Amino acid sequence: MNSPTPATARISVVGAGPGGLTCARILQKHGIPVTVYDRDPHPGARNQGGTLDLHADDGQLALREAGLIDEFFRLARPEGQEMRQLDLAGHIVEHHMPAADDLFRPEIDRGQLRDLLLRSLEPTTVQWGRTLEKVEGRQLLFTDGTTVETDLVIGADGAFSRVRPAVSPAVPQYSGITFLEAWFQDVDNKHAELSALVGQGSATAADGDRAVFAQRNSGDHIRVYIIQQLPADWIAANGLSVGDTAGIRARLLDVFAEWSPVMRRMVSDNDGPYVDRPLFVLPVPHAWEHSATVTLLGDAAHLMPPLGVGANLAMLDACDLALALATSATVADAVRTYEKTMIPRSVAEARRLEHGAHGLLDRHDSDTTVLFGHTNDVS
C-alpha cells in the first residue's frame, strides 16, 4: 500500500503526555488532522507529577513552534532554577541563584503544562478512557474490544509503551535505583523549616548510599524524592506495603539515622502516603527498523534516568516529527526523516546518562560540590 500524504492520513497519537500533546498541537497548527488516545478516563483522573524545567533549546523550542511560548512564560517560575546542595547537617555547601533575567530553564508544574497543551487543541482531539492493548498492522486494538484503522501510530505512551512492541522487542529494565516520593503541603505554614531549607527551587543531599532531592512546586507544595540503591521490590521484601506509611517511615528513619534531625524530617514529616517509583531504563542503544506506519517518541523511544532531559526530549521529538509530517510528501518519508534525527540524538543522550542515576547518590560536602542537573522527570 502506498503511503498517504500527511494531510489525508489518519494519524493516531497514543498518550496524552507532554510529547503526545505537543505533537498534536503542532500538527493541527499546520492543518493536519490528528487524534490522541489516552487511557485516563478524563483529564483530571490522576496527579500529573511534580515540576519540570523546560530548556530553551528543546522544550521551549517546541512550545515556540506550537505558538504557546508566551503563555508558558506567564505560568513558568524562573525562580525555580535556584539550586542548593546541602550537607547531612542541612548546611548549604553549593548554591546557584539564577540571574533576574535567566529564562533558560524555568520551572512549570506538569499539570499546568498539560492543561496548557490541552487548551490549545481542537475540541474532541483527545479521546479519553481508551486503553490500548496492542498495535496490529494498521489497527489499534483497545482493551474494550474496539478497533481503529489508522495510517500512522505515534507511540507517546511512556515507559511501558503498548505501541513499542510493534517496532521493537526492547523492554524497560530496572536501573537498581529507586525513588520514594513524599509530598509536603502548605509548606510555608506547616513545614516552615523545610521551606527555608529548599528555597525557591531545589535542594539535594547525599551520603554515598542514599540521597534526597527536594523540589518546590507551585501552590506552596514541595516534593521530596528519597533515592536509594535497592531491589525494586524492597518494600515488600521488608514486610511492608506501599500503603503502610508508618512502617515505611520507621524504616526510613532507621536508614537515615546518621543524618541531622532537620534532614531526617525531609523523609518523615510528609503529608500522606509515599509514592514508590523504581527507575526503569531502556537498553542503550535503542533503535528499530523503520516502519512506515509506526514510530515512537519520548520515553516510549528512549527511557532514561530522570536527570532533567525526559520531557524536554519528548517535546523536541514531538516537534521534529510534526514538522517532518508538515513538510514531507508522504507519511513514510516523514517518519524516515524524523527517525534519522531522533534516534542518533537519543542514543547519544542515553549513553551520556546511562549510569547517571547512580551518580545521584554521590556525597556532596565542602570538598565535593559538583552541582548536578535537575532531577525532575519523575512523573
Coil vs helix vs strand at 116: helix
Rg for the chain (alpha carbons), in Å? 21
**What is the distance between the alpha carbons of residues 337 and 49, in angstroms, rounded to a whole number?**
32
Candidates 190, 263, 265; CA nearest to 221 is 190
**Annotated binding residue 249:** no
**Annotated binding residue 46:** yes
**Annotated binding residue 110:** yes
**Annotated binding residue 299:** yes
**What is the distance between the alpha carbons of residues 365 and 379, in angstroms, rounded to a whole number?**
29
Write the DSSP string, 124-150. Answer: T-EE-S--EEEEETTEEEETTS-EEE-
Q: Which residues are annotated as a binding site for NADPH?
A: 46
Q: Which residues are annotated as a binding site for FAD?
A: 53, 110, 299
Q: Which residues are annotated as a binding site?
A: 46, 53, 110, 299
